[in-house]
Amino acid sequence: MKDKESGLGISLEGTVRVVAGKEVQARHYIRAIAPNGPVARLGIYKVGDELLEVNGWRVLGAHHVELVTRLRAVQSPVTLVVVRKRNEKRPGPEPGYAR
């Protein structure tokens, strides 16, 4: 899925919680997807998805610089595990599920 020249075709943004002056629970979200990049061509990821794993490496809590460095060095095939918030405008179960 990764292009040699352009990488994965995503940019990330991070958030971090600070407890007693120490950074904990760093989280990383897809901020933008390059229109013709590998991630866009798959058509399954969306801006706002939280990145949880890259090729089995757990990214929750990882420093942003470390994550970017690893993403630039990762070899294909690449497996990304993400989580997406449910659409809050639609209460109740997902369509197709019994109520």
Domain locations in the chain as residue ranges: 10-83
Please name the fold of domain 10-83.
Answer: Pdz3 Domain (2.30.42)
pTM for the predicted model, two decimal places: 0.77
| DSSP E strand boundaries for 2-43 | 10-19, 22-33
The pLDDT assigned to 99 comes to: 45
User: How does pLDDT run along the chain (99 residues), one tens digit per residue?
Assistant: 666 656 899 999 999 888 888 877 899 999 999 999 999 999 999 999 999 999 999 999 898 999 999 999 988 899 999 999 887 555 555 555 554
